[in-house]
Amino acid sequence: MKILKLHLTNIKSYDNTTIEFEPGTNSIHGENGAGKTTILEAIGWALFDFLPYSQDEFLREGAKYGTVSVTFVPPDGREYQVIRQIKKSPPWYVLDLETGYRVAEGSADVKEWLKKVMGLQDEMDLGEIFENAVGVPQGALYAPFLMTSSKRKDTFNAMLHLEEYKTAFDNLRETDRYIQDQLLALGNRQETLKVFRDRIPELEEKIHGLANENNRIDDELRACENDLASVREIKRQLEQKQKQIEALEGEHRRHEERINSLRDHLAKARQDLERSKQARDILLRTREGHLAYERAVQERRELEPQLETYRQLCQNLQLRQSDRNHLNAEIKEKQAELNNALSAQEILPRLQSKVDELRKIQKEHQQLTIEVSQLRALETRHADITQKLSSLDAELKSCKQTIQVIEQKRPLAEKLPALRKEYDSVQSQLSAAEGAKEKLNDLRKKYSSIEKEIVTLSAEITKLESEISSIELLQKESANLLQLRNRKNLLQERQKEMEIKISKLEQRLELDVPYCPLNRDDCLHIQQGERSCDLLSQQIQEAKSELETIIQDLQSTEQSIQHAEAAQAKLFEAEKAKAAYDPKLYNLQIRQQEKATLEKDLRELINQVEQIPSLQSSFEHIKSEVEAAEQADKEFHKLPVIEEKISNLTRQIEELREEQKQITEQIKDLSSKKQLVDKLEKRLQDKDTFEEKLTKAKLLVEHLPETRASLESLKRDLQNLEKVIEQLNSQIDDMRHLEQSDKELQAIIHKYEPEHKQYISNEQLAMQLEEKDAQVSKLQSEIDGTVKQLEEINAQLEKATKTWNRQDLEDAELKIEKLNADISSLRTQKANNLKQISNLEQELSDYQEKSREYDRAQQDIQKFEKIKQILQHIRNTIKSAQEPIAKSLIYGISLEARNIFCEIMGDHSQRLEWTDDYEIRLERGSERLTFQQMSGGEQMSAALAVRLALLKRLSEINIAFLDEPTQNMDTTRRMNLADQVVSLKGFEQLFVISHDDTFEQKMDRAIIVSKRHGISQVTYS
DSSP annotation string for 397-411: HHHHHHHHHHHHTHH
Look at residue 520 in the predicted model and tell me its pLDDT.
42
* 940: pLDDT strictly greater than 80: no
Residue 307 lies in a domain: no
Q: Quick one: 462 and 538 in the same domain?
A: yes
Helices (H), 906-970: 936-954
Residue 302 lies in a domain: no
Q: CA–CA separation, 212 vs 204, rounded Å?
A: 13
Q: Quick one: 382 and 417 in the same domain?
A: yes
Q: CA–CA separation, 532 vs 508, rounded Å?
A: 9
Look at residue 345 in the predicted model and tell me its pLDDT.
76
283-286: long-range contacts at Cβ-Cβ below 8 A with a sequence spacing of 24 or more?
Answer: 283/759, 283/762, 283/763, 283/766, 286/755, 286/756, 286/758, 286/759
Q: Compute the average pLDDT of residues 828-834.
A: 84
Provide, rounded to the nearest whole percent, the portion of the chain with pLDDT above 70: 90
- Write out the residue range of the structural domain in which residue 324 sits: 312-350+684-740
N-terminal to C-terminal alpha carbon distance within the chain: 24
Q: pLDDT tens-digit profile of 961-1018?
A: 887 777 666 677 677 667 766 666 667 888 888 877 777 777 888 899 998 888 999 9
* 807: pLDDT strictly greater than 60: yes
Look at residue 66 in the predicted model and tell me its pLDDT.
94
Residue 731 lies in a domain: yes
Q: Quick one: 5 and 61 in the same domain?
A: yes
Q: Quick one: 328 and 472 in the same domain?
A: no
* 55: pLDDT strictly greater than 80: yes
Q: Point out the domain boundary residue: 673, 708, 727.
A: 673
Residue 108 lies in a domain: yes
Residues 6+ apart with CB under 8 A from 623: 423
Residue 571 lies in a domain: yes
- Number of other residues whose CB lies within 10 A of the CB of residue 949: 24
Look at residue 980 in the predicted model and tell me its pLDDT.
66
Q: Point out the domain boundary residue: 740, 759, 778.
A: 740
- pTM higher than 0.85 for the full model? no
Q: Quick one: 698 and 589 in the same domain?
A: no
Helices (H), 409-532: 410-414, 416-468, 471-477, 481-511
Q: Quick one: 560 and 603 in the same domain?
A: yes
Q: Compute the average pLDDT of residues 496-524.
A: 62
Look at residue 517 in the predicted model and tell me its pLDDT.
45
Which of 48-52, 69-73, 157-161, 990-994 is the most confident on average? 69-73
* 40: pLDDT strictly greater than 80: yes
Q: Compute the average pLDDT of residues 318-339.
A: 81
Q: Quick one: 462 and 317 in the same domain?
A: no
Q: Quick one: 327 and 469 in the same domain?
A: no
Q: Quick one: 480 and 623 in the same domain?
A: yes
How many domains does one find in the chain? 3
Going by pLDDT thresholds of 50, 70 and 90, the confidence category of residue 522 is: very low
Going by pLDDT thresholds of 50, 70 and 90, the confidence category of residue 533 is: low
* 547: pLDDT strictly greater than 60: yes
Q: Which of residues 92 and 606 earns the better pLDDT score?
A: 92
Q: CA–CA separation, 544 vs 560, rounded Å?
A: 24
Q: pLDDT tens-digit profile of 858-911?
A: 888 888 888 888 888 887 887 777 778 888 888 888 888 888 788 777 777 888
Residue 566 lies in a domain: yes
Q: Point out the domain boundary residue: 695, 718, 740.
A: 740
Q: Quick one: 57 and 101 in the same domain?
A: yes
Q: pLDDT tens-digit profile of 681-709?
A: 776 677 777 777 777 777 877 777 887 78
Q: pLDDT tens-digit profile of 772-804?
A: 788 888 888 888 888 888 878 788 777 777 766
Q: Quick one: 381 and 457 in the same domain?
A: yes
Which CATH number belongs to the domain containing residue 7 in this structure? 3.40.50.300
Q: pLDDT tens-digit profile of 81-111?
A: 999 999 888 899 999 988 889 999 999 999 9
Q: Quick one: 438 and 494 in the same domain?
A: yes
